Chain A
């Protein structure tokens, strides 16, 4: 009866010391289990696969208009529109085919570090130094002031580093310099779930592609990538982690690469990995064989964000040189 009325009381035999011992032995067991599975490297399995033949990827479009570093971009599901956000405080929606700027929003803060296109194509979300993530419905009326219909959805206690709609326009997932990720209801602005586990700023998040969409991964300044049910810290290497083997299976790096990679994305089949670097280049890696296939030049400053289009026919890059490029 005494134990039930005081929920923080010790269970029998439990103490900080015994719990610490248990956690240490569990950590050791986990390391051993993972090591047992490391029977081969990915590139060894891929030895007999033919090398990727020469790629003919070049810049096909340059999107100019931002006045300062472009920090983030996202594709619309229609595979032609993009949204981008910049240190200049602006968020621009572009038609990637014609280069037309369809919408522009001026945010109340500079350093808009995150932006995302809603699955319906009817709204965009963005935020940064304002510690919030706001949703702007996109109006067909060119004269309408988008800022008037703005809806503040997410509130963090530090900068917003990433945002993504889940499977619908109704829920928004955010990551923040406050060390947390959070899931929000767009309509009411209510916090649905918050994710604590990082011990430093969370810089990036990405949802697993699936109809039910209930897993996402986040990366942070604590050098951890966490996989969850429901500002770029740059690493010189890119690593492939297989969830089923529960370990790293490949590392993509070269001694000649001394600048960090800020952003990565896979081509449609998963064979190519596009990585944007702080030395202004984009490296294309063979995911299976581990070698670098080519280096793409064009940007005149750090590459902050890389994303392959929804049908894989092109990829876009955003840069501190104030432009975006579409490559195909």
Chain B
């Protein structure tokens, strides 16, 4: 009896979840892709790993004092 009740409530939850996922608004890949591209290109200038930064302003690229071993 308990196992039937729990499979029933599991199934109800599954159906509710699937209905939620089915109701999600979706856009075409072409639109999503062009927005992804636009975001990347618009922000490229600020991406230090992509374009580098003017000399001296990336603290990890600054020369550090070296110890002689």
Contact = CB atoms under 8 A, between A and B. Distances in A.
B28 A55 contact: no
A19 B49 contact: no
Q: Is the interface of B mostly helix, strand, loop or mixed?
A: helix
Interface string B24-55: 10111111111111011111101111101100
Contact of B15 (A26, A37, A326): A26
Contacts of A287: 36, 40
A270 B43 contact: yes
Interface stretch (A64-72, A144-152, A207-215, A238-246): A238-246
A249 B28 CA distance: 10
A19 B12 contact: yes
B56 to A, nearest CB: 12
B18 interface: yes
Interface residues of B, number: 43
A42 B33 contact: yes
Given A96-B60, A249-B29, A26 B19 contact: yes
B22 interface: yes
Contacts of A304: none
Contacts of A23: 11, 14-15, 18
A182 B9 CA distance: 22
Interface string A216-259: 00000000000000000000000000101111010000000000
A46 interface: yes
B60 A37 contact: no
Contacts of B32: 242, 244-245, 249
B29 A272 contact: no
Given A60-B60, A268-B50, A271-B44, 10 more contacts: A16-B7, A37-B28, A40-B30, A41-B33, A56-B52, A97-B60, A267-B47, A268-B48, A308-B49, A314-B48
Interface of B: 4-5, 7-9, 11-12, 14-15, 18-19, 21-22, 24, 26-37, 39-44, 46-50, 52-53, 58-61
